[in-house]
Amino acid sequence: PPTLAIVGASYAGVQLAASARDAGFDGRILMFGDEPHLPYQRPPLSKGLLTGKTTVAALALKSADFYREARIEHVPDMRVSHIDPAAHRLTLADGSTLAWDWLALATGARCRALPMPGAGLQGVHALRSLDDALALDEAAHKGKRVCVIGGGFIGLEVAAALAGRGLEVTVVELGSRLLSRAVTPEISRFVASLHAAHCVRVLCNSAVQAIHGHAGKVSAVELESGECLGCDLVVAGIGVVPNDELARAAGIVCANGIVTDALGRTSAPGVLAIGDCAATPNPHAAEPDTPLRLESIQVANDLARAAASLIAGQPQACIAVPWFWSDQYDAKLQMAGLMSPTDDVVVRGDPASGRFSVFCLRDGCIAAVQTVSRPADHMLGRKLVAARTAIAADTLADPDFDPRTLIP
């Protein structure tokens, strides 16, 4: 029987293994992960785990029994160090090799390293793994003043969680607004006011020049403006880089991620790439044919399902609407579809109430819906984006108009 080897034991790898079995793949499935844990959920690392609402025990993606029953051989603490697509072999960190029929790269991404002096001081943290989260949680018990570098989702979730624990928090963001890559200016403004209301200082248009320390421990962050922010904890949330080194070394085409088609096929026959490490065309993007690397659980799961369908001999590309969420304080941000900076924007509801929705229109159709604490609008938004619903901006802007009537 054929062997499916999966590199990376997280969302994409686990979903691929599970879906391949479900779809009738009867060969051997091996899933190598370089972390010591059973595959676990990452979103709570910057949310519930830091606020104390979630425990480590609740993080497992699946139970050990699940892997056993589905005959998925999870090999923890084992790095794949080399792949040879021509010979259909891979090499493990312990020097042993394995022959495969299908190879899936589900290697994810890692935190971008801080490029300034002082980045190696004690008290400077980043957040990707469970071990990172436990180290940050412990540091936050002793810390008083935190500087978060980067006003993206992870930086802001950490800021919210630590402010809620009584730490004094400053967020330093290079861009002119928070979350600028992912949300409209209307949502950015709301998020900035939300953090201000919780006494978090948000500095946009601000670059960190250096991190200073005392006896090896962080003591301050210096901005390009010359301002020095005293702190005993720094959390970097400045984005991630795809783990595409195995693919690059094997000559597989990469461009901000391992380039694939809609079924996860890379430029090497038999080698698939899925999840945060992959750049895949997305039918909902402003440029649907350009490979796009999206960092989200929905994308990891849906591409894994598409790749599994290929392995099982019934290929079915993924056409799902991309969606994402973020929890900060009591606010639930939810994004459906992919916005583009040139979209027309219609706001429904009053941002001052803490519950509103932003509709992004492209070529007269609903291309994205971003909501704050309006989960019903988010679910409706997914349907409207999927159907590429046409609507005039002034109709949608009318508070008396009910967008639910747009569903046929």
Give min distance, CB of 199 to ligand FAD, in A: 23
Q: Identify whether the C-beta of residue 303 lies closer than 8 Å to the C-beta of residue 275.
A: yes
Q: How far is the CB of 22 from ligand FAD (least distance, A)?
A: 18
Q: Encoding tokens for residue 298?
A: 């929905």
Q: To the nearest whole angstrom, how small is the minimum distance from the Cβ of residue 364 to ligand FAD?
A: 29
Instruction: Specify the residue, 62 or 212, whose C-beta has the smaller distance to ligand FAD.
Output: 62
Burial class of residue 313, CB neighbours in 10 A (0-12, 13-18, 19+): exposed
Closest approach of ligand FAD to the CB of residue 277, in Å: 6
Task: Spell out the SS3 assignment of 11-28.
Answer: HHHHHHHHHHHHCCCCCE
Residue 300 CB, nearest distance to ligand FAD (Å)? 4
CB of 15 to ligand FAD, least distance (A): 8
Alpha-carbon distance 185 to 172, whole Å? 18
| 311 versus 346: smaller Cβ distance to ligand FAD | 311
Long-range contacts made by residues 257-262, C-beta under 8 angstroms, separation at least 24? 257/291, 257/293, 258/105, 259/291, 260/291, 260/303, 262/306, 262/317, 262/318
Measured from the CB atom, the residue of 90 and 220 that comes closer to ligand FAD is: 90
CA distance 330 to 348: 20
Q: Which is nearer to ligand FAD, 220 or 244 (CB)?
A: 244
Pick 109 or 306: Cβ nearer ligand FAD: 109
Cβ nearer to ligand FAD, comparing 249 with 376: 249
Q: How far apart are CA 89 and CA 312, in angstroms?
A: 21
Q: Interface with ligand FAD by CB under 6 A: which residues?
A: 7-13, 32-35, 42-43, 45-46, 79-80, 106-109, 127-128, 154, 243, 246, 275-276, 295-298, 300, 324-326
Neighbours of 145 (CB within 10 A): 16
CA atoms within 13 A on the CB side of 156: 27
